[in-house]
Chain A
Amino acid sequence: MSQQPPAFGVRARAVERAHVVAPRGDLDLFSAGEVQAALRARPEGCDLVVLDLSGVTFLDTSGMRLTIETLHELDGAGVRFAVLRGDPDVHRLFMLTRLDDRLPFFDDLGAALAA
C-alpha cells in the first residue's frame, strides 16, 4: 500500500502537571475520536492539557472541531488548554478560519508551560 499514509497513533504523556497528547499522522474524521479520548483521559489534578500538533500530517475540520470542543470542555472544567502548532499546512486551516488567534497556540511545549 504505497499510498497508505503514515500509520496514525496517539501518544499521551505527563510533563510536570501537564497532560500532553501528541497525535501522529492524519488528524481527521477517522482519528479524531481517538485523539479526543486521549485528551479526555487527563490525570486527576492536571492543570494543563496540551494538544501537540507537531506530529500531525493533515488536519481537517474534524481536527478543528476537536480542538475547539476541547477548549470549551477545559474552559468549563477550569483547566488550561494549549495547542502546539503543527506545520504550516496543518496550521493553514486554523488561519483560514481565523481560529489562529482564538485558540491558545504555542510554538513549543516550553512556551505552553511557561505561559
Chain B
Amino acid sequence: MTSAQPSRLESALTGWRGGGARSVLAPAPFSRAAVAGVAAVLALGVLELAAGEEVLVAVLLVLPPLVVALSGHWGDTLLVAALALAVALVVPVIGDEMQHASAVVLVIAGGLVALAVAAARAGSVVALERFRLLVGVADVADRAHGRHDALVAGVFDLLVPTFGDVVTVDVIRGGVRRRIGARVGPEIDPEVEAAMTRRRSLEGEARSSEAAIAADRAQLVEPDAALIAAAASTPGDAALLGDLRLTTALIVPLRSRGRVIGALNLAFGPSRRRHTESDLRFAEVLAGRVALALDNAGLTRELSEAEEQFGLVLHALAEAVTMNDAAGRLVYVNPAAVELLGVGSADDLLSSDPTDIMDRYAVFDEHGRPLALADLPSQRLLAGEPDPEPLLVRNVVRATGAERWLLHRCSALRDADGAIVRVISVIEDVSRVKRAEWSQRLLADASEALAASMDPGDQLDALAKVLVPALAGAAAAELPDRRGEPRRLAAAGEEAALEGENALRIPLRAGAEAVGTLTLAHAEPWRRFGRLERELADEIGRRAGVAVHNARSHSSRTAIARALQHGLLPPELPDVPGWSAAVLYRPAGEFNEVGGDFYDLFLGPSGWMVVVGDVAGQGAEAAARTSLARFTLRTAAELTGDVSTAVSRLNDTLRGQSGLPLCTVVCAELRERGDGTAVVTMASAGHPPPLLVRGHQVLPVGDAGTIAGAFDGERWPAAPVVLKPGDLLVLYTDGVTDAMGEDERFGERRLQEALGRLEGEAAERLAALRAELEAFERGPQRDDTTVLVLQYRGGGSQPAEASRAAASSITDARLQNAKRTSDRPASASS
C-alpha cells in the first residue's frame, strides 16, 4: 500500500493474472473465432488428405492459430493451435518425412507465436479496460462539476455491471459513515438497490466497510452464509443479502490526501463472476481516483454550502442588501431590502431598470437638495470613483409618501484585473436616529427664530424661513385681525401649495387658547406629513403660540400697563343718589389689539360725572394711554365740573403725546332738577352716541364732536338731555356693536332692539343684555366691551321737593367729596 503509485498503477493495469485467477475484466476465453479457426484447421486436414503429396497444405496449418490469435480470444488461439498441431501430426504424410517433420515444427512454432500474441492481446485488453475505467472516473468527475450525486452516478454507470453486480459508495462525514449511493446490475430487482442504499452495512462486523475504513485496508471477501448472518441487522436484511447469492466482494477504502474519506464496495452475485486479487489491486487504484474526485467534489460542495449559508444569512439579515452587476442592474436583493425599498417585489425589482426603480422615489440629500441615480454611491463606484463615501439620503416613496432616512454604503467585488464584477450595497434605515436629530435641530432653529424678535410678524416670518424647506415646501402663519379673520403675516416657499388638500394646519397655541394658525404644505402632491412631522409641527405651533402671545401681550411693559388700566377701573360703582347704575366691562383678553375701554363714575364739583371711553391703538402703548386718558378726564372733570373742558384737556394731553394717540369718549354730568327730572350734560368725542331708553323707546342722544387726539384746538360743545324717572341712559363702546357673531356684527339695531325690550332694574337689564350679547357672539372677541347703564329713579334718596338749601348743602358735600377724592393718590379707587 505504501509502494509508489506508478508501479502500483502499472501492476494494477497489467497484473491481470495475479493470484492465478483471471481478472473479471479479462475477456472470455472463447469466441466465435474459435469456431472459425477449428473449421479452418479441419478443412486444411481434409485438404491434406485429399491432396496427398502436397506439402504446402500442412504448412498452411500454421496460419489459423495466428489469425485467431489476432482476431479471437486467448482460449480460441490455444484451441486452434492445439488442433492444428494434432492435425499436422495425425494426417498421413505421403511425401518426404523430413518435410513432414519440418511442417510439424513449423506448426508448433506458429502455434507458440500465436499463443504469445493471444496472451499479449488478452493482457492489453484488461489493461485497456482498466485504463478506460480510470479515464472514465476522471471524465465523470470532470462532468459532475462538483456535484456529489452526479459524480457517484457516473461512477456507478462505469462500474456496474462491468466491475460488480452491486456497487455502493460510503463516505465519512463528520466522523460518521454514510451511504451516499448504491447501484445494482440489470439482473437484480431495482428494489434491492433502494434497500442497499438505505443499508448501513453490507458486510459482517469484522469485514464491514467501517472495518475496512478503520483498517485502511482493501479486502477481497467471499461472503458465505455465516458471514451474511453476522452482517445482517434483521432477518429481512439477511434474506436480502442471501438472495443476492454473492460470490465475491471488494471493500476498498477511499483514500484522498492521505486520509480515508469513505469506502467503495463492489460485489458479484447473480452474474456468478468473481473478483481476483488483481481486481482488488486495480480496485484500490480505481478507489483512489474516485476518492480524489469525491474529495474535490466534497471540497467544492463545502464551498457551495458556505455560499448557500451566506445566502441564507443575507436572506435573514435585517439590513437591506442589494447587489448590482457591472452594468448597474440589480441582480440580488434580500427581503429586508425589498421591504425597505417598498416599491415592489424582488422579482419586480430584479427585472426593472435602475432608472425606473429610482423614478419611484424622490431622493434628497441632508440639505433637501434632490439627488439623481448617478449620485448614489453604487453608481459612482461603477462610474469609476474608487471609494465613494457613504451617502445619507432622505428617501420618499412617491406612491405612498413614506419618508425614510437611508444610509447607502457600498463596496465592489472585482476580478483579477480589477474590473468591477458586482457592487454590493448595504442600505441602512437610520430614520429613527436621523429624525430625532433632525427634529431637535429644527425645534432649536424654530425657537431661536421666535426668540429673535418681540414682534409677532418678525417672529413668524423668521419661523416660516426656518420651516421651509426643512419641514415643508411652504409655510404660512396667520393671526386673526380685528374682525377675527385670519390674516397671513408670514409666508415662505411655494404658497400655492398651502391651498392644497394635504396642507397641514396647526393652531398656534398659548395655553388653551389658539392665537393663530400655522399652515404647512409640501409642494409635491405625493408628499405627506408623517406622524413625526405632525408632532413636530404641533410642538412648533405651541412654541410659536407662546412666543407670539408673549410678544403681543406679555412683554413686561404691556403687562404693567394692562394691570394699571384694569386695576384702576372702579371695582364697583359708587352709590349715586337717585340713580341706579350698573356696568358691564369685558376686557377682550390677552390678545387685545385695539387698546382699552375705560369708564368712571365720580362726584364732580356740581354733580356726579360719568365717563366711558375707548383708546385706539395696540398693545402696551394703548394700555398706557388708557390710564392717561382716564386720569386726565377725571382730574379735569373734578376740577372744572365741565364736560367740554374735560374733553378739551384730554385732547390737549393726547396731542402732546407722540404717535397720534386717539380716544373716543363720552363725558356726562348728571344733575337732578327740582321738577323730578334730571339733566344729563354730555360731551362726546367721536364716541358712539349714548342711548336714551324710555319705556320701549330707544333714542341715540347727544351731539358728538371729533375723536380726541386728532386735531389741535378742537372744541366739544356740551349738549343736555332730560331724563324722566324710569328712563335709562346707556353709554357703551363700539366693542358692543362690533361684537362678532356667526357672520355679522351685533350692531346698533340689535342693541337698541334689546334695550327696548328688556325690563327691570338697571343691573337686571344689563345682565340680560350681556346674555344676549354672549349668545350672539362666536369666537374670541377682539375688542373690549363696556356698557354702562344709568337709570334715573327720581327722588329716591333726594326728595322731589328738595329745597335749594338742601341742594346747596348737597353741593357743598359734593365739593368736599370732590376735594377729598382729588387729594387721594391716583392709584386709589373712588
Contacts and interface: CB of A to CB of B under 8 A. Distances in A.
Interface of A: 1, 3-5, 26, 28-30, 58, 60-62, 64-65, 68-69, 72, 96-99, 102
Given A1-B519, A26-B483, A68-B660, 9 more contacts: A5-B481, A26-B481, A28-B482, A28-B487, A30-B481, A58-B483, A60-B482, A61-B595, A98-B704
A29 B710 contact: no
Among B457, B487, B704, B705, max chain A CB count under 10 A is at B487
Among A5, A60, A62, A72, max chain B CB count under 10 A is at A60
A96 B498 contact: no
Given A68-B660, A96-B686, A102-B711, A1 B486 contact: yes
A60 B706 contact: no
Among A1, A30, A97, max chain B CB count under 10 A is at A97
A58 B519 CA distance: 24
B487 A65 contact: no
Contacts of A58: 481-483
Given A29-B481, A96-B686, A102 B486 contact: no
Q: How large is the interface on B (under 10, 10 to 19, 20 to 34, 35 or more residues)?
A: 20 to 34
| 9 cross-chain pairs, A with B, having the tightest CB-CB distances, nearest first | A97-B686, A61-B616, A97-B707, A98-B706, A60-B482, A68-B710, A98-B686, A65-B660, A69-B660
A4 B486 contact: yes
A3 B688 contact: no
Contacts of B519: 1
A99 B594 contact: no
14 contacts: A1-B478, A1-B499, A29-B593, A30-B457, A60-B482, A61-B617, A61-B662, A62-B618, A64-B707, A96-B686, A96-B704, A97-B662, A97-B686, A98-B707
Interface string B613-654: 000111000000000000000000000000000000000000
Contacts of B482: 28-29, 58, 60
B664 interface: yes
A102 B705 CA distance: 10
B187 interface: no
Interface string B695-729: 00000000011110011000000000000000000
B488 A4 contact: yes
Contacts of B489: 30
Contact of B594 (A1, A3, A60, A97): A60
Contacts of B706: 97-99, 102
A58 B489 CA distance: 17
Contact of B486 (A3, A62, A68, A96): A3
Contacts of A28: 481-482, 487
Nearest to B716: A98
A99 B710 contact: yes
A61 B594 contact: yes
A15 B617 CA distance: 33
Contacts of B488: 1, 4
Among B489, B688, B734, max chain A CB count under 10 A is at B734
Interface of B: 457, 478, 481-483, 485-489, 498-499, 519, 593-595, 616-618, 660, 662, 664, 685-688, 704-707, 710-711, 734
A98 B485 contact: no
Contact of B705 (A61, A69, A98): A98
A26 B487 contact: yes
Among A60, A61, A96, A102, max chain B CB count under 10 A is at A61
Given A29-B593, A97-B706, A65 B481 contact: no
Contacts of A65: 616-617, 660, 662
B734 A96 contact: yes
Nearest to B711: A102
A3 B617 contact: no
B38 to A, nearest CB: 121
A5 B706 CA distance: 30
Main secondary structure on B side of the interface with A:
loop
Contacts of A61: 594-595, 616-617, 662
Among A1, A30, A98, max chain B CB count under 10 A is at A98
B710 to A, nearest CB: 5
B481 A99 contact: no
A9 to B, nearest CB: 13
Given A3-B486, A4-B488, A99 B498 contact: no
A30 B498 CA distance: 21
Contacts of B483: 26, 58
Contacts of A1: 478, 486, 488, 498-499, 519
A29 B622 CA distance: 13
Contacts of A62: 618
Contacts of B499: 1
B458 to A, nearest CB: 12
A30 B706 CA distance: 25
A62 B498 CA distance: 29
A30 B749 CA distance: 30
B694 to A, nearest CB: 24
Contacts of B660: 65, 68-69, 72
Contacts of B707: 64, 97-99
Contacts of B498: 1
Given A58-B482, A65-B660, A97-B664, A29 B618 contact: yes
Contacts of A102: 706, 710-711
A36 to B, nearest CB: 11
Contacts of B685: 98
A102 B593 CA distance: 26
Contacts of A98: 685-686, 704-707
B65 to A, nearest CB: 121
Contacts of B705: 98
B608 to A, nearest CB: 26
Contacts of A30: 457, 481, 487, 489
Nearest to A103: B710
A96 B664 CA distance: 9
B688 A96 contact: yes
B485 A3 contact: yes
B457 to A, nearest CB: 8
B476 to A, nearest CB: 8
Contacts of A64: 616, 662, 707
A74 B149 CA distance: 107
A73 B734 CA distance: 28
B401 to A, nearest CB: 23
B743 to A, nearest CB: 11
A101 B618 CA distance: 26
A102 B660 CA distance: 16
Nearest to B664: A97
A68 B704 contact: no
A58 B115 CA distance: 135
Contacts of B704: 96, 98
B247 to A, nearest CB: 103
Contacts of B734: 96
